[in-house]
Chains A and B, each alone.
Chain A
Amino acid sequence: MKQPSWDIIGKRKWGYLFSLLVIIPGIIALSVNGLNLGVDFTGGTFLDLRLEKDFTTGQVRQIFDRFGLGRSIIQKGAGRDLSIRTRFLSEEERVKILQALRQEFGEVTVLRADEVGPRIGRELRNIAILGVAIGLLLQVVYISYRFKSVRFAVAADIALLHDILVVLAAFSLTRKEVNSSFVAVLLTVVGYSINDTIVLFDRIRENLAMRAREPFDRLVNRSILEALVRSLNTSITTILAIGAVYFFGGTTIRDFAFGLMVGIATGAYSSIFTASPLLVDWHLWAQRRKVKPVEARLPAVGPSPVPATASPATSPGGQPPRKHKKRRK
Chain B
Amino acid sequence: MASRLWLRLAFVLAVALLAFQVAFRPVRFEGFVPTLTSPRIHLNLGLDLKGGSRLVFRALRENVSVEDLQGVKRIIEQRIDQLGVVEPTIEILSRQRRIVVELPGIQDPQRAINLIGKTALLEFVDTGTTQLPPGAKWSEDGKKVTLPSGQSISLPKNVKFTGADLQSAQATISDIEGPVVNFQMKGEAAKRFEEYTRENIGRYLTIVLDNEVISSPVIRSTITGGRGQISGGFQNLQEARDLAVLLRSGALPVPVEVEENRTIGPLLGRDSIERSLKAGYIGTILVILFMLLYYRLQGFLASLALGLYILLILAALTGLNATLTLPGIAGIILSIGMAVDANVIIFEKMKEELRLGKTLYMAIQTGWRRALVTIVDSNTTTLIAAVVLLWLGSGPIRGFAVTLTIGVIASMFTAIVVTRVFVDLVSGTRLASWLKAIAATGGRTSEAA
List residues of chain A with CB under 8 Å of any chain B CB.
Answer: 1-4, 48, 50, 91, 94-95, 98, 109-117, 119-120, 127, 130-131, 134-135, 138-139, 142-143, 146, 180-181, 183-184, 187-188, 190-192, 194-196, 198-199, 202-203, 206, 226-230, 232-234, 236-245, 247-250, 252-253, 256-257, 260
Q: Which of A119, A142, A146, A245 contacts B279 (CB 8 A)?
A: A245
CB distance from B209 to the nearest CB of A (A): 14
Contact yes or no, B117 A91, CB < 8 A = yes
Q: Apart from A227-B348, A244-B280, what 4 extra A-B contacts exist at CB < 8 Å?
A: A184-B331, A203-B374, A241-B336, A256-B330
Q: Is the CB of B268 within 8 A of A252?
A: yes
Residues of B within 8 A of A95 (CB): 110
Say yes or no: A191-B384 contact (C-beta < 8 A), given A91-B117, A250-B271: yes
Which of A50, A117, A134, A244 gathers the greatest number of chain B CB atoms within 10 Å? A244
**13 interchain pairs (CB within 8 A)?**
A139-B381, A139-B384, A184-B396, A184-B401, A194-B378, A199-B374, A234-B344, A238-B340, A240-B337, A244-B286, A245-B330, A252-B326, A253-B272
CA distance A291 to B66 in the complex (A): 68
Residue B109 CB within 8 A of the other chain = yes
Question: How far is A232 from B449 in the complex, measured between Cα atoms in Å?
Answer: 9
Q: Bound complex: CA of A134 vs CA of B385, how far in Å? A: 9
User: Are the C-beta atoms of B262 and A248 separated by less than 8 Å?
Assistant: no
Looking at the complex, which one of B380, B385, B446 makes contact with A135 (CB distance below 8 Å)? B385
**Are A91 and B388 within 8 A (Cβ)?**
no
- Bound CA–CA A50/B267 (angstroms): 10
B417 contacts partner chain A, Cβ-Cβ < 8 Å: no
Given A146-B377, A184-B393, decide whether A257 and B344 contact each other with a Cβ distance below 8 A.
Answer: no
Q: Please determine whether A250 and B260 come into contact, CB atoms closer than 8 angstroms.
A: no
A21 to B380, CA, bound (A): 32
Question: Known: A127-B393, A198-B377, A242-B334. Is A94-B327 also a contact (CB below 8 A)?
Answer: no
CA distance A250 to B117 in the complex (A): 33
Q: Please measure, in the bound complex, the distance between the C-alpha atom of A3 and the C-alpha atom of B381, giving whole angstroms.
A: 29
Tell me the bound Cα distance from A146 to B378 in angstroms: 11
Interface centre among A114, A202, A206, A233 (most CB of B within 10 A): A233
A248 touching B392 in the complex, CB below 8 Å, given contacts A115-B261, A202-B374, A238-B338: no
Closest residue on chain B to residue A184 by CB atoms: B400
B91 close to chain A: CB less than 8 A: no
B275 touching A250 by the CB < 8 A rule?
yes
| Complex Cα–Cα for A114 and B377 (A) | 40
Given contacts A181-B397, A236-B290, contact A142 B388 (CB under 8 A): no
The answer for the CA separation of A117 and B401 in the assembled complex, in Å, is 24
* Among A195, A232, A240, A253, contact of B326 (Cβ-Cβ < 8 Å): A253
Q: Is B320 an interface residue (CB 8 A)?
A: no
Chain B residues contacting A48 (CB-CB under 8 Å) are 268
Chain B residues contacting A191 (CB-CB under 8 Å) are: 381-386, 404
Are A2 and B443 in contact, with the CB atoms below 8 A?
yes
Residue of A nearest to B384 (CB): A138
Distance in angstroms between the alpha carbons of A202 and B381 in the assembled complex: 13
B262-306 at interface with A (beta carbon < 8 Å) = 262-265, 267-268, 271-272, 275-276, 278-280, 282-284, 286-287, 290-291, 294
Measured between beta carbons, the chain B residues less than 8 angstroms from A113 are 109, 261-263
In the bound assembly, the distance between CA atoms of A220 and B341 in angstroms comes to 21
Question: Which single residue of chain B is at the shortest CB-CB distance from A202?
Answer: B374
Q: CB < 8 Å: which of A233, A241, A244, A245 contacts B344?
A: A233
Give chain B interface residues in 340-394, CB to chain A under 8 Å: 340-341, 344-345, 348, 352, 355, 370, 373-374, 377-386, 388-389, 392-393
CB < 8 Å: which of A117, A131, A244 contacts B283?
A: A244
Q: Which residue of B lies closest to A46 (CB)?
A: B262
B58 on interface, CB distance cutoff 8 Å: yes
Q: For chain B, what secondary structure do more than half of its interface residues adopt (helix, strand, loop), or is it mixed?
A: helix
Quote the shortest CB–CB distance from B276 to chain A (angstroms).
5
B430 at interface, CB cutoff 8 A: no
Q: Closest residue of chain B to A48, judged by CB?
A: B268
CA distance A239 to B381 in the complex (A): 20
Closest to A1 in B: B355
B113 to chain A, nearest CB (A): 6
B114 interface contact, C-beta 8 A: yes
Q: Is the CB of A111 within 8 A of B348?
A: no
Collect the chain B residues with CB atoms within 8 Å of residue A1's CB. 355
Is B396 a contact partner of A192 (Cβ separation < 8 A)? no
Closest to A134 in B: B388
Pairwise interchain contact B389-A184, C-beta atoms closer than 8 A: yes
Question: Which residue of A198, A232, A238, A244 contacts B378 across the interface (Cβ within 8 Å)?
Answer: A198
**What's the least CB distance linking A322 to chain B, in Å?**
21
Contact A142/B265 with A238-B334, A244-B286, A249-B275 known, Cβ cut-off 8 Å:
no
- Give the distance in Å from the alpha carbon of A115 to the alpha carbon of B117 in the complex: 14
In the complex, what residues of B have CB within 8 A of residue A94's CB? 110
Pairwise interchain contact B260-A249, C-beta atoms closer than 8 A: no
Most A Cβ at <10 Å: residue of B113, B282, B377, B443? B377
Residues of B close to A98: CB separation below 8 A: 110
Whether A130 pairs with B392 at a CB distance below 8 angstroms is: yes
B56 with A120: CB separation less than 8 A: yes
Could you tell me if B327 and A184 are in contact, using CB atoms closer than 8 angstroms? yes
Given contacts A183-B393, A188-B385, contact A248 B275 (CB under 8 A): yes
B residues in contact with A233, CB < 8 Å = 290, 294, 340, 344, 348
* Docked CA distance A243–B336 (Å): 12
Nearest Cβ on chain B to A93's Cβ, whole angstroms: 12
**Smallest CB separation, A205 vs chain B (Å):** 9
Chain B neighbourhood of A110, CB < 8 A: 109, 263, 265
CB-based nearest A residue for B290: A237
B404: min CB distance to chain A, Å: 7
User: In chain B, what residue has the closest Cβ to A183?
Assistant: B397
Q: What is the CA–CA distance of A199 and B263 in the complex, to the nearest angstrom? A: 42
